[in-house]
């Protein structure tokens, strides 16, 4: 492992996605996953990557062996996590401590108990022996040339129960040679004001270099981390996308963004913050969780604007409506169309689509009315860009874009006496003066309709061969007076170079799907540059 | 509308899910949705429910008319949102202001500009005229007997740019008769320490009663809200589950939980905090977003512990490992070791249903396996109690409960050349030795299938006449890597004395609906005390 941290050592961005983050319900990382995440974190520029607990399970042991061989770390140092030695033994002969040394990691984080009741109930030893375990283990590992950080587990609860003992653990660790003592809100119940007061007092009373490790059980982990920094902590432990046990850990990305953009504190190598959105999404892909669309800074919606009220002013000065320039974190501003939108957002959206509405107030007003009316029926255009563009073009060009005229369609779903299923659809339509009848089967009636429509249209428009459905969503909307219900279908379609979404609304799922399919194919032909029949 | 708020007026929990929360990308609320959410919020016990902007769109206007007629509010007061009058006019003749009065809402929140550049660029008027707009509109509405709150939009950014002007807006609103002036972090870029300092200064300098409205763009909205309370704000604006524009708003649930459990401040009527988890999930269902599993306090994972290191200590004293007792917020601790937890909950559930599993370990183990296997396929029994009971009975009684045997079914959806629609279904089944063939039409293929099944069964089981479908939900479940997709249908059925839910999963919506319908009718017959054919 080579590591050339460009930043000085005065502030630590310490990532524990691979250790504490992996405790999140639903995450189960292979060694290959861990290596991929370590590469992303190093690419992002964190100072320390806690890789796991070597010796505790074969996966973590293998990870340390391979990470040091296979990854050429540019920014980060690899950290092994472990515990203080057993009660009554010596650190130099403790198998768990030896496994930490054997991992080859040059930096080691030791977890230590700092809450008196945990020492007694979970560790089943005396308060004095716990201090001795901390002293002995830190002293032994530093004597072996390792840099040691000490995580004080349950520190804030422990401080509330017995502040003198909690501080004694910090002092012992620091005096034994630990570079940083991390105060952990393990149960996550703290609020920023509490964190700030305790960190300030412990710093004043012990003089130890302090770090913070916050869990998000009150929804304040990011703020708790920053509160500790305000009080003098110079080491923050976080996880990518806030993954972690229960609710999760302090999210690395908003913590780093706040430090760089709000505090003006350089904690990443030059230019790395702009990679944050990409890296957040890449790590979500590796752990196989959909990236949170509403995550601060990096979510798809983080810079999306919907309100009509704001849209007119966004045109004048976007910085009045966003707390940072989204490009600073590699994200982008998006305008959403909805019935709350007014003229300004329609004009902006038109511009985005390359359709000049040329300040035609009457035209824009008509589009606004049309959107409002359709959204009242259940359509939603913010999630159906392509249907919105077709609606807009229909108003601008004086009528809908037509590549084909549908005469009729029929879909059949059947469960036969012999136990087999059949889903079949027939479509009859006119295109370029020709009447076409096509029938197809599918794994459901909508799929059969999609195939029949494609079979019919491909005879005339071979461009459609590239098109494929990539997503399909159904929502039942309650009707105006609870008697009727309405079905809304959203379809995403791709052609290899892009993806677009269309919407259909009807009193049943088949008819709604049909509308969305018609829009999807019409838009696909428009994208392909085919001249409309109209 | 009658409202008898049990709490005094000294602290306001103000919910804006229906107004600001509805700005979240992907949320599109019908009037029925808004009414349902208002009922849940009132049930939870918030003091104020901001329902929307009457006059701005037909949906919000209709909501105010119906909410006041149809909802008998027990705790909350309904609030209309609107803006200060137009520049250069008078409030009493401003159509937008008149629409606020016409809504009938007794409490009105007015949004006002407090950032000098926004006044100039977005409002295109002078700083003095903006103050006059605030004064005139507040004075007019209070003269009409309305209670007025003023939202100072972009307050914190405005305070940074021009603190004297920002404070002048607060002072003007307060002096004109506004009960509370709310400082809004509209762009969401603030951190708690900044919020706390500004609120404290503005409170000292203006003496106005202050509230706070935080957005979550830095991931600190909950902490920012609490920081404002620490500085003396006595009115917090939040949204259920943190829904809102971009990243979202301050999440109502962790804010209220922190105030009640961490501050010891009573902000909800007695006993309502225990309903928090249920209400959070119910609102997510109405807006059709999956409840966040990792939401503080109310998420499925919020009190889930991966066993191992802590397991034995958790048994000794669970409070050492959780920041609050989950029951205080209506949630439960879960151990993720699984099998044990699985068995215990199956036994509990059996007891709940009056089915004695008599400690039969093998039987319980079989049920656990069956549930795991089905949930892996996409079934969800949490939301389908009737399907779960049928599954449990099938294991206990050695085979599924059978009132009828289906030979085949077929559903047709058709869009005819003359523009008419047809939805028709045929069902062939055996019941009590008789073969029955029934055909029915419906407003969609699922509705037609439901009717055909009912027509067929009613000949044999007249008890079914009372049954009616009351809810129908479809969700497309994505496969692990987006290749296959599966459809899940949840159906709720009622018979006048109760309601039950059933689930179906298949590769298409018709087949999944059919499964849920079969379970729904089977369970209806069981409830009616009809002896099964088996």
**B415 shares contact with chain A (CB less than 8 Å):** yes
Please say if the pLDDT value at position B68 is more than 50: yes
Please list the alpha-helical segments (H only) found in A207-359: 221-230, 252-257, 276-287, 308-316, 343-352
Q: Which of A198, A251, A225 is nearest to A15 (CA)?
A: A251
Q: Cβ-count burial of B8 within 10 angstroms (0-12 exposed, 13-18 middle, 19+ buried)?
A: exposed
Given an 8 Å threshold on Cβ–Cβ distance, is A476 in contact with B474? yes
Helix axes A308-316, A343-352, angle to 10 degrees: 60
Compute the mean pLDDT over every residue in chain A, rounded to the nearest whole number.
90
Distance CA B189, CA A217 (A): 22
Q: State pLDDT tens for residues A434-463.
A: 999 999 999 889 999 999 999 999 989 999
For chain A, the domain total comes to 3
CATH classification at residue A449: 3.30.160.740
In the predicted model, what is the mean pLDDT of residues B347-372? 79
Residues paired with B52 in a beta bridge:
B80
Helix/strand/coil for B364: helix
| Contacts of B130-134 spanning 24+ positions with Cβ under 8 A | B130/B84, B130/B87, B130/B169, B131/B168, B131/B169, B131/B172, B133/B84, B133/B85, B133/B86, B133/B87, B133/B91, B134/B84, B134/B110, B134/B169, B134/B172, B134/B173, B134/B176
Distance CA B287, CA B33 (A): 7
Distance CA A275, CA A24 (A): 24
Contact status, residue A323 vs residue B188, Cβ threshold 8 Å: yes
pTM over 0.90: no
In the predicted model, what is the mean pLDDT of residues B68-78? 96
Q: Is the dihedral of CA A138, A143, A144, A147 positive or negative?
A: positive
Contact status, residue B48 vs residue B107, Cβ threshold 8 Å: yes
Compute the mean pLDDT over every residue in chain B, rounded to the nearest whole number.
89
| Model pLDDT, residue B312 | 56
Q: What tokens appear for B494 in the block? A: 């009622």
- DSSP letter at A532 equals P
Pick among A158, A322, A469, A510 to test the B interface (most B CBs inside 10 A): A510
Q: State pLDDT tens for residues A348-361.
A: 778 877 887 777 88
Distance CA A524, CA A404 (A): 13
Contact status, residue B426 vs residue B452, Cβ threshold 8 Å: yes
| Model pLDDT, residue B382 | 64
What's the CA dihedral at A144, A147, A153, A156 to 10 degrees? 140
Q: Which chain B residues are within 8 Å of A56, Cβ to Cβ?
A: none
A51 lies in a domain?
yes
Q: Which chain B residues are within 8 Å of A254, Cβ to Cβ?
A: 218-220
Distance CA A446, CA A425 (A): 8
Residues A66 and A203 in one domain: yes
Distance CA A154, CA A169 (A): 12
Residues A105 and A197 in one domain: yes
Give the closest of B26, B222, B336 to A25, CB-based: B336
Q: State pLDDT tens for residues B13-51.
A: 999 999 999 989 878 888 988 999 999 999 999 999 999
Distance CA B359, CA B349 (A): 13
Q: Which of A3, A27, A5 is nearest to A16 (CA)?
A: A27
In the predicted model, what is the mean pLDDT of residues A246-259? 97
State which of A460, A478, A507 marks the end of a domain: A460
**Chain A nearest CA to B354, separation (Å):** 32
Give the closest of A406, A485, A507 to B472, CB-based: A485
Give the closest of B304, B313, B485 to A246, CB-based: B304
Half-sphere exposure of B350 (CA within 13 A, CB side): 22
A113 lies in a domain?
yes
A481 lies in a domain?
no
Q: State pLDDT tens for residues A176-220.
A: 999 999 999 999 999 999 999 999 999 999 999 999 999 999 999
Cβ neighbours around B73 below 10 Å, total: 20
Residues A176 and A34 in one domain: yes
Residues B19 and B109 in one domain: yes
Residues A136 and A41 in one domain: yes
CA distances from B183 to B153, B166, B178, B195, B459 (A): 7, 10, 13, 9, 65
State which of A287, A321, A346 marks the end of a domain: A287
Residues A337 and A427 in one domain: no
**B316 shares contact with chain A (CB less than 8 Å):** yes
First to last CA, chain B: 53
Residues A193 and A317 in one domain: no
The proportion of chain A whose per-residue pLDDT surpasses 90, expressed as a percent, equals 66
Residues B80 and B207 in one domain: yes
CA distances from B381 to B346, B371, B392, B479 (A): 11, 8, 11, 19
Q: Taking a contact as any Cβ pair under 8 Å apart, which residues of chain A between 58 and 77 contact chain B?
A: none
Helix/strand/coil for B111: strand
Residues A247 and A340 in one domain: no
**B376 shares contact with chain A (CB less than 8 Å):** no
Q: What tokens appear for B64 in the block? A: 């105010």
A327 lies in a domain?
yes
Helix/strand/coil for B307: coil
A125 lies in a domain?
yes
Q: State pLDDT tens for residues A151-166.
A: 999 999 999 999 999 9
Contact status, residue A504 vs residue A511, Cβ threshold 8 Å: yes
| Model pLDDT, residue B306 | 64
| Model pLDDT, residue A354 | 82
Q: Which residue of B has its CA nearest to A313?
A: B122
B281 lies in a domain?
yes
Residues B241 and B317 in one domain: no
This complex has an ipTM of 0.74
Q: Which of B525, B526, B518 is nearest to B502 (CA)?
A: B518
Q: Which residues contact B457 (CB under 8 A, 6 or more apart)?
A: B403, B404, B429, B431, B436, B464, B521
The proportion of chain B whose per-residue pLDDT surpasses 70, expressed as a percent, equals 92
What's the CA dihedral at A168, A170, A173, A178 to 10 degrees? -160
Q: Which chain A residues are within 8 Å of B189, Cβ to Cβ?
A: 262, 323-324
Residues A354 and A440 in one domain: no
Residues A68 and A107 in one domain: yes
Please list the alpha-helical segments (H only) found in A212-275: 221-230, 252-257
In the predicted model, what is the mean pLDDT of residues A503-521? 94
Half-sphere exposure of B458 (CA within 13 A, CB side): 13
Q: Which residue has the higher pLDDT, A499 or A526?
A: A526
E strand or H helix that includes residue B406: strand B405-415
E strand or H helix that includes residue B430: strand B421-431
pLDDT band at A331, cuts 50/70/90? very high
First to last CA, chain A: 66
A18-32, B355-369, B391-405, B466-480: range with highest mean pLDDT: B391-405
A471 lies in a domain?
no
Distance CA A329, CA A169 (A): 39
- DSSP letter at A303 equals T
Q: State pLDDT tens for residues B422-478.
A: 999 999 999 999 999 999 999 889 999 999 999 999 989 999 998 888 878 887 775
Pairing mode of beta strands B235-238, B304-305: unpaired
**A520 shares contact with chain B (CB less than 8 Å):** no
A486 lies in a domain?
no
Contact status, residue A64 vs residue A267, Cβ threshold 8 Å: no
Q: Which chain B residues are within 8 Å of A410, Cβ to Cβ?
A: 412-415
CA distances from A5 to A16, A34, A260 (A): 18, 21, 17
Q: State pLDDT tens for residues A260-319.
A: 999 999 999 999 999 999 999 889 877 867 778 899 999 988 998 865 556 666 777 788
Give the closest of A121, A193, A510 to B230, CB-based: A193
**φ, ψ at B148 (rounded to 5°):** -120, 130
**Chain A nearest CA to B111, separation (Å):** 11
E strand or H helix that includes residue B457: helix B445-458
CATH classification at residue B56: 3.20.20.70
Helix/strand/coil for A12: strand
Distance CA B67, CA B77 (A): 11
Please say if the pLDDT value at position B71 is more than 50: yes
Q: Which residue has the higher pLDDT, B312 or B285?
A: B285
In the predicted model, what is the mean pLDDT of residues B473-495? 70
| Model pLDDT, residue A482 | 33
Go through B175-203 and write b for each residue having 16 or more CB atoms within 10 A of its CB, e for each that does not: ebbbbbbbbbbbbbbbbbbbbbebbbebb
Domain holding B320, by residue range, is 305-335
């Amino acid at each position: 492992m080579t590591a050339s941290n460009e930043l000085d050592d005065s502030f630590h961005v310490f990532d524990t996605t691979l250790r504490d983050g992996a405790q999140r319900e639903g995450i189960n990382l292979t060694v290959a996953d861990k290596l991929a995440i370590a590469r992303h974190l190093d690419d992002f520029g964190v100072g320390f990557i806690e890789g796991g607990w070597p010796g505790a399970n074969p996966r973590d042991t293998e990870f340390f062996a391979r990470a040091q061989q296979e990854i050429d770390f540019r920014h980060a140092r690899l950290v092994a996590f472990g515990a203080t030695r057993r009660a009554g033994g010596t650190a130099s002969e403790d198998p768990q401590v030896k496994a930490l040394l054997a991992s080859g990691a040059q930096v080691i984080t030791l977890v230590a108990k700092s809450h008196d009741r945990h020492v007694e109930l979970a560790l089943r030893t005396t308060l004095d022996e716990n201090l001795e375990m901390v002293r002995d283990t830190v002293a032994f590992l530093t004597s072996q040339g390792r840099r040691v950080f000490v995580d004080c587990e349950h520190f804030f609860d422990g401080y509330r129960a017995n502040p003198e003992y909690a501080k004694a653990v910090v002092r012992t660790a620091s005096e034994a040679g630990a570079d940083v003592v991390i105060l952990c809100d393990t149960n996550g119940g703290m609020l920023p004001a509490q964190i700030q007061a305790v960190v300030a007092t412990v710093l004043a009373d012990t003089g130890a270099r302090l770090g913070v490790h916050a869990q998000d059980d009150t929804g304040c982990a990011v703020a708790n981390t920053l509160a500790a920094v305000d009080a003098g902590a110079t080491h923050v432990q976080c996880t990518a996308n806030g993954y972690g046990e229960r609710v999760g850990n302090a999210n690395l990305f908003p913590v780093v963004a706040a430090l760089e953009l709000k505090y003006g504190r350089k904690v990443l190598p030059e230019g790395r913050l702009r990679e944050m959105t990409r890296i957040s999404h890449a790590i979500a892909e590796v752990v196989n969780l959909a990236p949170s669309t509403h995550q601060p800074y990096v979510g798809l919606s983080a810079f999306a604007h919907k309100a009509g009220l704001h849209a007119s002013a966004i045109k004048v000065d976007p910085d009045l409506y966003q707390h940072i320039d989204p490009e600073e974190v590699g994200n982008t501003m998006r305008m959403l169309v909805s019935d709350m939108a007014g003229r300004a957002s329609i004009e902006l959206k038109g511009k985005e689509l390359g359709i000049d509405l040329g300040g035609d107030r009457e035209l824009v007003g008509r589009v606004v009315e049309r959107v409002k009316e359709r959204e009242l029926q259940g359509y939603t255009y913010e999630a159906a860009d392509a249907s919105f563009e077709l609606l807009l073009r229909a108003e601008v060009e004086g009528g809908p874009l037509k590549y084909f005229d549908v005469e009729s369609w029929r879909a059949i779903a059947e469960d036969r006496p012999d136990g087999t299923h059949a889903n079949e659809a027939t479509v009859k339509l006119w295109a370029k003066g020709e009447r076409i009848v096509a029938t197809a089967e599918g794994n459901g009636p909508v799929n059969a309709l999609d195939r029949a429509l494609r079979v019919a249209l491909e005879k005339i428009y071979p461009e459609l061969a590239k098109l494929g459905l990539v997503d399909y969503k159904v929502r039942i909307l309650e009707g105006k007076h609870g008697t009727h219900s309405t079905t809304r279908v959203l379809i995403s379609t791709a052609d290899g170079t892009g993806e677009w979404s269309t919407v259909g609304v009807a009193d049943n799922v088949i008819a709604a799907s049909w509308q969305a399919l018609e829009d999807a194919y019409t838009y696909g032909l428009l994208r392909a540059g085919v001249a409309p029949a109209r």
